[in-house]
Amino acid sequence: MKYVTEYRDAALVQGVIEEIRRTVTRPWTLMEICGGQTHAIVRHGIDQLLPAEIELVHGPGCPVCVTPLELIDKALAIASRPDVIFCSYGDMLRVPGSGRDLFSVRAQGGDVRVVYSPLDAVTLAQQNPDKQVVFFAIGFETTAPPNVMSVLQAQRLGLKNFSILVSHVRVPPAIHAILSSPANRVQGFLLAGHVCAVMGYWEYPPLAEKFRVPMAVTGFEPLDIVQGILTAVQLLEAGKVEVANAYQRAVTFEGLKPAQDAINKVFMECDRKWRGIGMIPMSGWCLRPEFDEFNAEKRFDVEAVRAEESPLCIAGQILQGLKKPHDCSAFGKQCTPEHPLGATMVSAEGACAAYYRYGR
């Protein structure tokens, strides 16, 4: 397959790993920020091939895992309404809220549908004028352009029965929070290639500079990932604090300007709770007031819903790279993908699910 098989070539990957071996002189701890990369690393067993000096810790970059309980409860409340068609990306259906998940709502008669694009939800709103269609707009910067496009499209079509429940999060404030923690041990970052394809990487040099931590923009195929690791290790070994682009076929410094413009037109920065981590100031996006009519929280009066999580799993520490999945006593025992105790076990991109599925 073009642009895939070439980047899974065993000889090329081994060549870069040899180069990492030749470069590394001391232990380094790197964090891959993106859940998609965590998944690829474990699926392809890339961590097994690395020299012992390199430790990869998994970041909070799974949007399903970090969606706060409160928003899931709001989603459950909205999805249970008989007048609503509730649309979501697939893996949100399994995330437990307070006592229920979207599977349960569907089993009890709620109209919950998996869509592959938020624009499919707009089409559903056109086809079902007597129903309220709500899209659960979660994600990092990567899913923001299609999510805001759904609002702009609904506005253009004059739809009065479409709204989105927004739980958007952004990478730079999360990195800031991790590096600000007294417990931080991350020395270098692999930046999320898809996020940077949209946003560019102009937001990161000030962070690298402030915390003296180098970063490498990294892709998702095995060759991309080892190239990102090599780049980060080269910077660390040379004592350079830079943001380097190891995913040049997809990412530019400026990013995709029209996408950023669309995001800024519809969204504004806001405080956001991260499941398992807590409030990170100005780490989210929410709808600008002029798009209130598309704001599901306002339309369905669920703004007052509050929920607190109980202290049962260590997902938060895993999301911050402080612990690994098998540091958890529940891992693989009480906590499995069928019976997830925590969000990191729920999503295919969650670190615990990746460890469980690929047998660590």
Partner 1 sequence: MTEELPNLEGAVCHPPLPHGEQIVMGHGAGGRMSHQLIQKAFLPAFRNPALSAGNDAALVMPDGRQRLSISTDAHVVSPLFFPGGDIGRLAVCGTVNDVAMLGAKPLYLTAGFILEEGLPMETLQRVIESMQAAAEEAGVQIVAGDTKVVQKGKADGLYIATAGVGVVREGVDLGGANARAGDAVILSGTIGDHGIAVLGARGELGFQSSIQSDVAPLNHLIEAMLDASPNIHVLRDPTRGGLATTLNEIAAQSNVGILLDERTLPVHPQVAAACEMLGFDPLYIANEGKVVCILPREEAEKVLAVMRNTRYGEGAVIIGEVTAEPKGRVLLKTAIGSTRVVDMLAGEMLPRIC
The footprint of partner 1 on residues 92-121 (CB under 8 A) is 92-94, 96-101, 103-104, 106-108, 114, 116-117, 120
Cβ proximity to partner 1: between 217 and 343 the closer is: 343
- Separation of alpha carbons 312 and 359, rounded Å: 23
With binding defined as CB under 8 A, does residue 199 bind partner 1? no
**Minimum distance, C-beta of residue 76 to partner 1, in the bound complex (Å):** 11
Restricted to residues 75-94, the positions that interact with partner 1 (CB under 8 A) are 89-94
Residue 243, beta-bridge partner list:
215
Q: At what angle do helices 35-43 and 222-237 cross, to 10 degrees?
A: 110
With binding defined as CB under 8 A, does residue 181 bind partner 1? yes
Residue 123 burial (CB count, 10 A) = 16
**Minimum distance, C-beta of residue 256 to partner 1, in the bound complex (Å):** 15
- Separation of alpha carbons 239 and 43, rounded Å: 31
* CA proximity to 283, closest of 69, 60, 32: 60
The stretch among 23-31, 229-237, 287-295, 303-311 that binds partner 1 (CB under 8 A) is: 303-311
- Apex 253 CA angle, 148 and 233, nearest 5: 115
Per-residue HEC secondary structure of 240-286 comes to CCCEEECCCCCCCCCCCHHHHHHHHHHEEEEEEEECCCEEEEEEEEE
Cβ proximity to partner 1: between 67 and 295 the closer is: 67
**Minimum distance, C-beta of residue 280 to partner 1, in the bound complex (Å):** 5
With binding defined as CB under 8 A, does residue 329 bind partner 1? no
- In this structure, which amino acid lies at residue 4? V
Applying CB under 8 A, which of residues 160, 253, 279, 333 lies at the interface with partner 1? Answer: 279
- In this structure, which amino acid lies at residue 144? A
With binding defined as CB under 8 A, does residue 138 bind partner 1? yes
Applying CB under 8 A, which of residues 59, 188, 214, 222 lies at the interface with partner 1? Answer: 222
Stated as kind and residue range, the H or E segment containing 191 is strand 188-192
**Minimum distance, C-beta of residue 42 to partner 1, in the bound complex (Å):** 7
Look at the chain and count its residues: 360
Restricted to residues 145-174, the positions that interact with partner 1 (CB under 8 A) are 172-173
With binding defined as CB under 8 A, does residue 15 bind partner 1? no
Cβ proximity to partner 1: between 250 and 282 the closer is: 282
With binding defined as CB under 8 A, does residue 284 bind partner 1? no
